[in-house]
A and B are shown apart, each in its own frame.
Chain A
């Protein structure tokens, strides 16, 4: 069994988000079938009643605060680590791999979240994972931090090596493993929920942008707007024959679509496809000529062409012949 906890909402403490947007984010996270949604107290107070059907975890500063929130069954708390209440997840920060040896002091806790471990992949991580599970007998959630750009790799390896619980956040908000990457990686490498429609990731992206005002890089793994664009002749040709050739998964799975871009790296087959797409009749033998004109224009522009520019170049060619 794999259980994923999403902590995006906890990381949105500082944003003045409207309650309906926060609720919407909960709903979308549930659609993405995350198992638990974590919220901080300020976000919870702002959000109000949470969407039904979800399992929520409230982040508190002291185990004694739990009594104030009877509507919650699960809490996470960073404290002295000796509260053995099953409803409390004890969060322990691990900054150095040598600290793994001292985890034995928490061996009797029922729920533990290990946060940090950002450079574990630089070490013998498989042995370290084994040592973690040996030192703690309860349920262990791994919450890798992304300081070394390896959090997704750590989360995936934890699962592939027998771990069951991981923590992530959308777009890696707050410096954790990006949820969207973890979901796709587990789908491909572990066949975890292989039929789940993840097009909701696009809606989550829009919400995240609206709440934080941050832009998402257009080539961001899994959710970037342009990740299924294709320009290079070799790729256009390959994808036309079989998308599997140059795509690790179908764009529709994540609510995206392929776009044919025309530019410096296009080949003649891309030119032919584009003409067909725009309803332009290109007489045989002119493909190469049009390609050269397109490439020159693209180099001058230092970018690819939009459809209008392509049409203009096509018309110019047709006037000349």
Chain B
């Protein structure tokens, strides 16, 4: 025991010594980690990816781009319950943000994509999202005057689905939102958040939200059953295929209604909430979580404090300010 204490002390001392003296205080060791200030990406691939992200030629009929549903100036989402794809078709699920996706362990609500690269196949080929065939996209991009050269510069090769995916993924990896008030707090600035927000964070831990929403993305590192305490879906009714969650991927009955825990990082900007977009406000989402995940109630002021805390998680990215 003494030995362990010594070890802890040593680690703590090292942490203090390595802390940059510019900071007001020492960094906190919390289950939530700050988002790094920079991320190592290839600028050529990123700028190519940015162009592709905004290019409607990725969709059949050339009406929607990635940015149509993932508006970078609006938290990387479209702010509606379900998105509208080609030919005005309505999607089946709420569009998650594209910010901080580099921190997620899987992509899509059901986690069917293991990497950002794999994820690209989904919206491009989904008949109600972009409805494209890959070779069609490639053919269209070959007609462009700039793309062939940009692809060659970035990859030393031609336009193909693999390179398109790589560029889009690299661009998304560049979409990080560091320097949130909560991260400043984590890094040692005790005054970066208010007393209520601090209380909110304590509540967040006390009630157990932290057991699923944790890490740099405050979520996105595990699957969880939606409706642990009470059946959300029976309560809501009209169960769709999308509601089956991870079951659609594995076919395992134990995976029914299991979803990737969403990141709360930009929750302040990405209403409505949940995979079905059923919670119009952050407070409504918190209520649902209490009822169906925690199976308990809490005083309004506790919930309000949690909402106030969640709002401190949103950091900055140049694209958000445009």
Whether chain B is bound by chain A comes out as no
B interface residues (Cβ-Cβ under 8 A, vs A): none
